[in-house]
Amino acid sequence: MFTLLQILIHLRVLLGIGKLMKIEPRLLLLASNANVGGPTTAVGMATEKGWSSLIVPGILVGIFGIAIASFLEIVFGVKVLKFM
């Protein structure tokens, strides 16, 4: 139940900010999917929805998200392990 609540809040905030910034909902949804599920789920979503022009951007956003997360994990891990 908690996970569902997190996803619903994430979706509402994402679409709300996107509406204020006048960004297409399909771009926001695909970017969110790529960052949460990775590039493979972004490709699946873009293909299923017929957004063939967004397949490559979905892959790139997913890979970029993984690269940033990996870097932050290493930095955070080093900082935390210093105190142990």
Q: What is the dihedral of CA 16, 21, 26, 32, to 10 degrees?
A: -70
In the chain (84 residues long), the average pLDDT of successive 10-residue segments reads: 91 94 95 91 96 95 93 94 86
Q: Can you state the angle between helices 39-49 and 25-37, rounded to 10 degrees?
A: 150
The pLDDT of residue 83 is 84
Taking the C-alpha atoms of residue 41 and residue 3, their distance in angstroms, rounded to an integer, is 19
Q: Token match 């590039």: residue?
A: 39
